Structure formats: structure tokens, C-alpha cells
Amino acid sequence: MKKIPLITLERYPDYCNYLLTLGEECERISSGAIAKALGLGEVLVRKDLAYTDCVGKPRLGYNRVELIGALRSVLKCDVHKNAAVIGVGKIGHALLSYERFEKYGITLVCGLDENPDVLDENAAKPIYDAKKLNDVVKKYDIELAVICVPDFCAQTVCDEIVASGVKRILTFAPTNLKVPDGVIVRYMDLAANLAVLASC
């Protein structure tokens, strides 16, 4: 499969969500209709979808169910992956009970923190001592880490995650993280997003 540009990949959940809202009464859909609904250009939509296995037919468009399947396949929704949250403050805690990860095949299995007051190894979503990171990564086969710690310790926590073997990191701390080749960091800066919105 061709390497899909990140910017394209980022639109795949939107396509999926939209196609799912259409329901079974919609059997086929054109790139033009998708483009209009999502406020995108039709050429862009056609290019984006050309990276999937689903081929649209002239004048008939894409089979909706096939297209959803193709998008979900690229997003690896049917491959189960475990994730852990490092830093169980309010945001970390909210994420642990956030149910929307499951539709992408991702389970946030546990949290880790260095504050003894929040640890609870017997909870439905256990919270372990941050010192046990290596053991937790092995035990649950953690592939994704979510950093929810304060900025000042984000790089240290990131280094520990990388050392534990996890190669995909989502961080809520707005600190530019240094990682070795092969490790990918994605930034989720809530405040910056609101600021950008306010400046539009």
C-alpha cells in the first residue's frame, strides 16, 4: 500500500463518521456528495479515498459499506490495541472512562501516576505506580501511550515511555518532545486549539 500522507489520514475518521450517519438507506455515495457534506473540495476527497482499497464507479460513486470498511482498515480499527495513560489528573482520569476509543479498536487499559493517593491496582481501569511502567507495558502489551503530566516533566516521562518500548505517543502537554527515529509523537494541545479558534 502507498504511504498515506498524515493530512489525508487525519480526515479518514471524519469520512467514517459521516458515512456512518447516513445509515443503510444510502447504498452508494459520490465523492461530490461527501465533499459537500464535509465542506471539502471534491478533487481532494477523491484523492484521499484513492489511497483506500475501495474503488468508486463513474456516475454511481462508492459503495458506502465498502468504503467504511476500507477506511476502517487503513485506520486499523479491527486490530485491537492497548493504550495506557501516564498522569492521572483530571484529564487523564476523564480519558480512562472515555468510551469513544473502542470504535477504533483501542482500549485504554490503565493509568500510571507517581502520586500514591491516586493509585488503585484493583480498579476496573487500574492505576499503577509510574515506576512500574516497564512491567505494565509488558503485561498489557501497550502500544500507545497518552501523556497527561505537567509540562515540566513531559520529556522525562516521554523518555521513560520510549525506553519501555512504546513507539506511539499522544501528548496533552504542550512541550516539544524529543524522541528517537521510529517513535511518533502526536500533540493534543487543547488550549492552543481554543486559541486558534478564537483567532480565526
Which residues are near a copy of itself by CB under 8 A? 6, 9-10, 12-14, 17-18, 21, 37-38, 74-77, 81, 83, 89-91, 93-95, 97-98, 100-101, 103-106, 143-144, 146, 168-170, 174-176, 184, 186-200
Query: In the complex, what is the shortest distance from the CB of residue 27 to a copy of itself, in angstroms, rounded to a whole number?
Result: 20
Q: Could you tell me the smallest distance in angstroms from the CB atom of residue 63 to a copy of itself?
A: 21
Least distance in Å: CB of 132 to a copy of itself? 22
- DSSP per residue over 35-71, as a string? HHHHT--HHHHHHHHTTSS--PBTTTBEEHHHHHHHH
- What's the min distance (Å) between Cβ of 89 and a copy of itself? 8
Question: Between 60 and 190, whose beta carbon lies closer to a copy of itself?
Answer: 190
DSSP 128-190: EEGGGHHHHHHHHTEEEEEE-S-GGGHHHHHHHHHHTT--EEEE-S-S-----TT-EEEE--H
Q: Of 105 and 126, which has the nearer Cβ to a copy of itself?
A: 105
